[in-house]
Amino acid sequence: MKRFIFPVLCLLLIAACSVYLEAEILTVTIKEPIHPITAEIIVKSIEKASQEKAELVIIKLNTPGGLDSSMREIIEAIIGSPVPVVAYVSPAGARAASAGLFIAVACDIFAMAPGTSTGAAHPVSIGSSGQEQDKTMEEKVTQDAAAYIRTLAEKRGRNIQMAEDAVRKSLSYTEQEALKGKLIDLVAKDEQELIEALDGKEIKRFNGEAQVLNLKDQPLVELPLTFRQKILMAIANPNLAYILLMLGLLGLYFEFANPGAIFPGVIGGISLLLALLSFQILPVNYVGLLLILLGTVFFILEIKITSYGALAVGGAISLFLGSVILIKSPIPELRPSLKFIVPVVLGISLIFVLLVYLVIKAHRHRAMTGKEGLVGESGQALTPVSPDGKVFVHGSIWRAVSEDKIEKGDKVQVVEVQDHLTLKVKKV
């Protein structure tokens, strides 16, 4: 019996090793704008595929475009990848626009699902001053982008003219137009059809080497996002980043206005730090951020200075303008929506105005406690007050003085609270 145990264990070990060493097809889904976090996700996926000696990496793209720096970081990783990379525009209705087109053209295989589109890659310059400088800078950026996509298309054997027209003329193409023009390699309705079409296909890598894809019976593994990446992707949402900034400013205002409240300060501090973290990801216009801070200062000054609402109006205008220009991106998905900004600005402004109203009302209201709370109170003389005596005021017996002659039982009113809790009263 023992002589059979060792061969069986060896067979099990060999089977386990073969499963472990089995090549895989790794897939990663990108359905957000291209920014530092999506760049990190793709780069890490390619690194993982290289470490595990995967047979193929499929990037499922559905993006409106994004930041040039993040796009180039992704393309560098794709070009340098020892594992072939496929860009697959999916599902139906998806697009690979702007930076997404550059990334897809740079991949070893460019595939699209039915009902998808790609193109519209004309670069948009941001933050220049002067019309002449705008035109000059735009031309420089366009020339650079056109040259970049030409070299990518040429190295990958794709239609150079179609790729360049997508940059210079902002042209977009359906999957059939792109296939007919040889901008893409194939159209596949799903990943399984894509893998079957690529199995046994010889591809030419970026360095000129030929490689045959052996994809038959290879397991398809979706790479999930890490917890850190999920958090960063959530706060990279411009609408969430904007509301975190507003909550942070409100929380700190409440804490400074009511020292010791603790909860508003904690929530405000955390929200503000998360907003600052998201601003490290998004292309923030710091003039917009300063306008939002200036608007907050105007609301606070309204409490201290009687401006008859001028500071509050200025604060609301500053808050709105700062919110509109807060994120300097030509991609709408990377900016807070105007439909989101307007109600938030109105809500924040109303909260500040309400707080200002309550503070002013409290300042104008007569004090109800302490020495100041006793002034104006009515009571009754328990003894003659001439010039001093005892009175009953506010539920207590007090020593009182008066310039008037007050008899026992007369009604009195407190004029002043003197030292040693002596009340100065007058006859009512």
Residue type, 247: L
CATH number at residue 402: 2.40.50.140
413, 335: one domain: no
242, 376: one domain: no
39, 134: one domain: yes
The verdict on residue 135 lying in a domain is: yes
Q: State the pairing for strand pair 220-222/25-30.
A: parallel
Structure tokens at 112: 């699209």
The verdict on residue 60 lying in a domain is: yes
The verdict on residue 7 lying in a domain is: no
215, 258: one domain: no
Handedness of CA 359, 365, 369, 373 (dihedral sign): positive
**How many Cα neighbours within 13 Å face the side chain of 274?**
25
Residue with tokens 């009175």: 391
What DSSP string runs through 73-114? HHHHHHHT-SS-EEEEE-STT-EEETHHHHHHHHSSEEEE-T
Q: List, by residue number, the catalytic residues.
A: 98, 140
Helix or strand run (H / E) with residue 379: strand 378-381
Residue 307 sits in which domain range? 237-364
257, 311: one domain: yes
Q: In this predicted model, what pLDDT tens digit does every residue of 361-409 receive, in sequence order?
A: 665 655 545 556 677 778 888 888 877 888 888 778 888 888 888 888 8
Sheet with 220-222, strands from edge to edge, namely 186-187, 109-112, 85-89, 56-61, 25-30, 220-222
For the chain, the 3-state helix, strand and coil shares in percent, each to the nearest 5, are 50, 20, 30
Count of domains forming the chain:
3
123, 37: one domain: yes
What whole-number distance in Å separates Cα of residue 375 and Cα of residue 371?
7
CATH number at residue 20: 3.90.226.10
> Domain end: 197, 227, 257, which one?
227
Cα Rg for the chain, rounded, in angstroms?
36
181, 273: one domain: no
247, 376: one domain: no
> Domain end: 201, 227, 253, which one?
227
Q: State the pairing for strand pair 422-427/396-401.
A: parallel
The verdict on residue 111 lying in a domain is: yes
Residue with tokens 């002449």: 132
Assess contact for 324 and 304: CB atoms under 8 A.
no
What whole-number distance in Å separates Cα of residue 98 and Cα of residue 173?
12
- Phi and psi, residue 65, nearest 5°: 115, -160
275, 258: one domain: yes
Task: Write down the pLDDT at residue 383.
Answer: 86
Task: Write down the pLDDT at residue 127.
Answer: 41
Our measurement of the distance from residue 105's CA atom to the centroid of its chain's CA atoms, rounded to an integer in Å, reads: 28
The verdict on residue 6 lying in a domain is: no
246, 204: one domain: no
Measure the N-to-C terminal CA separation of the chain; round to a whole number of Å: 117
Positions in the chain whose pLDDT score sits under 50: 1-2, 4, 6-21, 126-133, 368
Distances (CA, A) of 140 to 133, 146, 226, 328, 405: 10, 10, 39, 19, 95
360, 374: one domain: no
- Phi and psi, residue 343, nearest 5°: -65, -35
Q: In this predicted model, what pLDDT tens digit does every residue of 60-101 receive, in sequence order?
A: 999 999 888 999 999 999 999 999 999 999 999 999 999 999
The verdict on residue 3 lying in a domain is: no
Q: State the pairing for strand pair 210-212/220-222.
A: unpaired
Assess contact for 213 and 198: CB atoms under 8 A.
yes
pTM given for the model: 0.72
The verdict on residue 274 lying in a domain is: yes
Residues in the chain: 428
180: CB partners within 8 A, 6+ apart: none
What whole-number distance in Å separates Cα of residue 423 and Cα of residue 41?
76
Structure tokens at 214: 């052996």
Helix or strand run (H / E) with residue 70: helix 68-79
Query: Helix or strand or coil: residue 354?
Result: helix
> Domain end: 349, 364, 379, which one?
364
178, 289: one domain: no
The verdict on residue 9 lying in a domain is: no
